[in-house]
Structure 1
Amino acid sequence: MRAPIPSAILSSALIDAGRWIDAQGWCPATGGNFSARLSDAHALVTASGRHKGQLTDDDLLTVDLEGNPVESRLRPSAETLLHTRLYQLESGVGAVLHTHSVASTVLSRLEPGDWLTISGYEMQKSLNGNTSHEPDIRLAVFENTQDMQALAEQLASRWQQMPLNWGFLVRGHGLYAWGRDVNEARRHLEGLEFLFTCELEMRRLGVK
């Protein structure tokens, strides 16, 4: 059982992550959503329609792991269901950052299959469990849909076949990256975005 983490600590971490992510240009307009696990039963999430570079404590709310608000009038994004499903699937997931970068969005559309495979980059070592550039990095790619419940079920089905690591892509939409806490989720996000940018440039140059 995971010990509860004070919401003030997680709120500060998500607000700081939002400012950093916005500075990278990875969450334009009011796109994206962030969360952090509060306990085995609850998570702190960003409210719908809030600019991620301008977050305050008033832009965050607590939800249960079905995505329902807890003692709040704020409305969570429909995509909260993907965050909470990740928390249900893996107790080690402590934070989820969903972004809309150009690299992740374009690369997800260029990849025709259900998996994006990347290899040969030193930055793969930024992803937890990797100590070399040699092993393939495989990220699941899901088709975009506005039906988040259906997408959450697809995520669970894919996870049962093989647990996912670090993140996944939604085609034409963006990246979901996670970690044991907000700091690790940030590291995975940054590492993956670097890898996406490299892979996109290699494809642009016609190098396989």
Structure 2
Amino acid sequence: MPSLRPPPGISDLVYIAPSGVQKELMKPADIYVLSLAAQQQQQEQARSLRQRVYLRSPPSLRPSQCTPLFLAAFTRRRAGCCIHTHSQWAVLVTLLLEQQEQAGGAGAGAPSSSEFRINNVEQIKGFGRGADRLAEGNLGYHDTLVVPVIENTAHEEDLTEFLEEAMDRYPDAYAVLVRRHGVYVWGESVHKAKTQCESLDYLFQLAVEMKKLGLPWISDVKPTLPRNSARA
């Protein structure tokens, strides 16, 4: 489920895919359009999807229950695009984390199921060092990618406050996992959001396969430098 907005300063419009429409069959007229500034002003009064003021509201379609979660990415992260998927690998990772926590017990130092952590994998270079636009550069091979995990709810829109809390606790995160459900991923542009979504799916699948082989997601790998490197 995609959503996007133009770069700040160009427009405050937000475009969100409808619910229940196969994405390859969507037409431009099927897209819901709303004003981000208007939504921020009406946030308390328009919490319900049906009460939101849309500039375009296709009469035969339903607005996505993901709408308030997408808006959180736009307002709290100044994202240009937010994507929600029901990736099986994302779901499996949250289940593995849950299993790992149960196996470790509730004592001090026990593994937590509230975040996914992985390091020393080349693909984490696909993520910036921080979700703030001022943050420079991407994560390095030896850095640790951290993705918070929130619990699922019966209704998608009820996830909003938990997603916002995760964003506050993890200001550098570009994604939030929802246990037994999927993942929300955002970026400052469509290109970056798509790239990060694909990178995460790769890492989640890799993590599942690593777990099958008994390989840890966090490892202590010493940096390898060429013999003629000035940093050696």
Give the TM-score normalised by the residue count of structure 2. Answer: 0.69
| CA-CA distance at 1:71 after TM superposition | 3.3
Picking from 104, 108, 111, the partner of 2:94 is 108
Counterparts of 1:144 and 1:177, CA distance in 2: 16
**8 A Cα contact 1:168 1:177, kept in partner:** yes
Picking from 8, 13, 16, the partner of 1:42 is 13
**8 A Cα contact 1:81 1:148, kept in partner:** no
Unaligned stretches of 5+ in structure 1? 1-32
User: RMSD between aligned alpha carbons?
Assistant: 1.9
1:71 paired residue number: 56
Q: Does the alignment pair 1:158 with 2:148?
A: no
Distance change >3 Å, CA 159–CA 101, structure 1 → 2 = closer
1:181 paired residue number: 189
Number of paired residues? 175
Larger mean CA deviation between 128-137 and 93-102 belongs to: 128-137
| CA-CA distance at 1:131 after TM superposition | 4.2
User: What are the equivalent positions in structure 2 for 1:138-157 lying under 5 Å apart?
Assistant: 138-157=146-165
**8 A Cα contact 2:68 2:160, kept in partner:** yes
| CA-CA distance at 1:179 after TM superposition | 0.7
Unaligned stretches of 5+ in structure 2? 40-48, 99-112, 130-137, 217-232
Matched to 2:150, the amino acid is F
Deviations 1:94-121 (A, max 9, x none): 1011111221121122112110101110
Counterparts of 1:89 and 1:47, CA distance in 2: 22
Larger mean CA deviation between 42-51 and 63-72 belongs to: 63-72
| CA-CA distance at 1:162 after TM superposition | 3.1
Counterparts of 2:177 and 2:189, CA distance in 1: 20
Deviations 1:3-22 (A, max 9, x none): xxxxxxxxxxxxxxxxxxxx
Percentage of matched positions with identical amino acids: 29
Q: Which has the larger radius of gyration?
A: 2
Counterparts of 2:151 and 2:86, CA distance in 1: 15
Please give the secondary structure, in 1, of the residue aligned with 2:22. coil
| CA-CA distance at 1:154 after TM superposition | 1.5
Counterparts of 1:124 and 1:175, CA distance in 2: 17
Please give the secondary structure, in 1, of the residue aligned with 2:183. strand
2:122 paired residue number: 122
| CA-CA distance at 1:59 after TM superposition | 2.6
1:8 paired residue number: none
Matched to 1:190, the amino acid is E
Matched to 2:71, the amino acid is T
2:212 paired residue number: 204
Counterparts of 2:164 and 2:139, CA distance in 1: 28
Distance change >3 Å, CA 184–CA 101, structure 1 → 2 = same
| CA-CA distance at 1:80 after TM superposition | 1.3
**8 A Cα contact 1:35 1:97, kept in partner:** yes
Counterparts of 1:138 and 1:191, CA distance in 2: 13
Please give the secondary structure, in 1, of the residue aligned with 2:176. strand
Counterparts of 1:202 and 1:163, CA distance in 2: 28
Counterparts of 1:164 and 1:59, CA distance in 2: 33
Q: Does the alignment pair 1:86 with 2:48?
A: no
Larger mean CA deviation between 183-192 and 50-59 belongs to: 50-59
Larger mean CA deviation between 96-105 and 60-69 belongs to: 60-69
